[in-house]
Chains A and B, each alone.
Chain A
Amino acid sequence: MADQPSVPQQKPVSLLRFADFAGARILYRLSGFGRASIFVFRTLALLFKPPFQLNLLVRQLRLIGVDSLSVVLVSGIFTGIVLATQGYIQLSDLSAEGQIGRFVCVSLIKELGPMVTGFVLAGRIGASITAELGTMKVTEQIDALSVMGTDPVKYLVVPRFLACAYMLPILTVFSTFSGIAGGYAVAVYLFNMNGVFFMKQVQSYLYISSICISLIKATSFGMAIALVGCYKGFTISVAGGAEGVGKATTGSAVVSLMLILVLDVLLNHLLFTLLQLK
């Protein structure tokens, strides 16, 4: 206890240190946020600037869309199955099991269809975009593009952004319908419901507004996945090497997932309050 007097002396110092540290962290975060915004604006500005390289876009559409279709379909079916099973059990408690078709259809179209598709693509495409661009960065291929007078954002980011923005809604339609098929199978073959009745319900709850919500959400998830994936790849630290690429790849998937959740909540509010879509 001899050095007790020194304790109060240390306190302000370590507090200052902490403030210093925290301040630096906050500034770092803010500047990161600024850089990310600049990246997003640059991408958006370049969307409408010729030359448009269709061959690059087509390649990405194929990679992102066609190759993801099977995974999306499978996850859609399972979502439908789980949803119908739980829904049936819960609804039958309220003696409303007859509404299972409505329940499955509405939740899939407005929420789970876009969400599950977004999750699958964030893991599959977002991560692979980061890995690809990150590797290009580390091996100086992005520098090589710049040196040859080609804007890497235009050449690499724009086609991926457009492909994700186009493909997510399309894939969402597939996942939603496969989900409804899964729900139908559970309701009809497991719980012995009338199939025609189920489909009638689905049909009568297939509002245009719900479909709009679904597609708007899907498009924004697609944009988010592409932007996060590309940004994470571009900003990789060259010093990090292969390990850095690995970390950025996981980071990219995690950030995309979080962003999808946040966007989902925001869009629900926005579309409901502003456009009265429900």
Chain B
Amino acid sequence: MIQIKNLWKSFEGKQVLKGLDLHIPRGETLVIMGRSGCGKSLLLKLVTGLMQPDAGEILVDGEEISGLKFKELNHMRRKFGLLFQSAALFDSMSVEENVGFMLAQHTKLSRAQIREIVIEKLHLVDLDGTEHLRPAELSGGMRKRVGLARAIAFDPEVILYDEPTTGLDPVTCVEINRLIQSLHEKLEVTSVVVTHDMDSAFTVATRMAMIHSGKIVAFGHPNEMLENDDPILQQFILLGAPEQILNVSNPVLKEFILNLREE
């Protein structure tokens, strides 16, 4: 589905991505992990063509996105749903207008039809009855969920989640994880989830990748990641979870951590 080859990107002399290669297979949920500032959000922006790489290729369905004309790029982007790390809601619009934005822009649906879809998507993220509110009237976690509803409103083929559960309470986290899973199972979307939340990561992932110093240092099934003895990866997974060990809901991860603790 998405093929990334030898991607380089720097900012004012600071090299962030250094020849990153990654393949995101169709229909999989890929979790991307990595230290803060390692370029995860940046990678999502490069994939959606919001930024241009210094070098390298990004192929979406075999098409190089930097080679696309403006119009073609705009068209290709409709396949994507991106949840921004900051949610990036339009603050001059209501929640309803935010979630229904793509439908209003790119379809001929009536207001009432759009409203119906919006209400359905808001229900999915557990935000019934918030249609008329403005983003400024929402809490951080609610904004994130409106962003999520907006990202899935146009039924995208690929959903890119930038830290979907950060700042949410444990109950909502579990619901969001379920939502990600069910979108994956029912609609067979391809998902990319950037997260620091190891519990969430091991719950939703069918593939995992770890970015370190501008490259992918580990890639594979969640179980392979647990067996991978790369010290950076081990540290990341172990440190990511111990405080929450009692409320880790993923049995594989729980067992793994308990094993590591005993050693």
Residues of A within 8 A of B (CB): 136, 139-141, 143-144, 146-151
Contacts and interface: CB of A to CB of B under 8 A. Distances in A.
Nearest to A143: B50
Contacts of B91: 139, 141
A149 B78 contact: yes
B88 A143 contact: yes
Contacts of A147: 48, 50, 77, 80, 82
A265 B49 CA distance: 43
B91 to A, nearest CB: 7
Given A140-B88, A144-B84, A144-B88, A149 B74 contact: yes
26 contacts: A139-B86, A140-B86, A140-B88, A143-B45, A143-B88, A144-B82, A144-B84, A144-B89, A146-B74, A147-B50, A147-B80, A148-B77, A148-B101, A148-B102, A148-B105, A148-B154, A149-B74, A149-B75, A149-B77, A149-B78, A149-B105, A149-B106, A150-B74, A150-B101, A150-B102, A151-B70
Contacts of A150: 74, 101-102, 105
A28 to B, nearest CB: 14
A136 B91 CA distance: 9
Contacts, number: 48
Given A143-B45, A143-B50, A149 B102 contact: yes
Given A139-B86, A150-B74, 20 more contacts: A140-B84, A140-B86, A140-B88, A141-B88, A141-B89, A143-B45, A143-B88, A144-B82, A144-B89, A146-B49, A147-B50, A147-B77, A148-B105, A149-B74, A149-B75, A149-B102, A150-B101, A150-B102, A150-B105, A151-B74
A139 B74 contact: no
B219 interface: no
B236 interface: no
Interface residues of B, number: 22
Most buried by B among A146, A147, A150: A147
Interface in B77-115: 77-78, 80, 82, 84, 86, 88-91, 101-102, 105-106
Contacts of B45: 143
Contacts of B75: 149
B52 to A, nearest CB: 13
Contacts of A144: 82, 84, 88-90
Nearest to A150: B105
B106 A143 contact: no
A143 B88 CA distance: 8
Contacts of A149: 74-75, 77-78, 102, 105-106
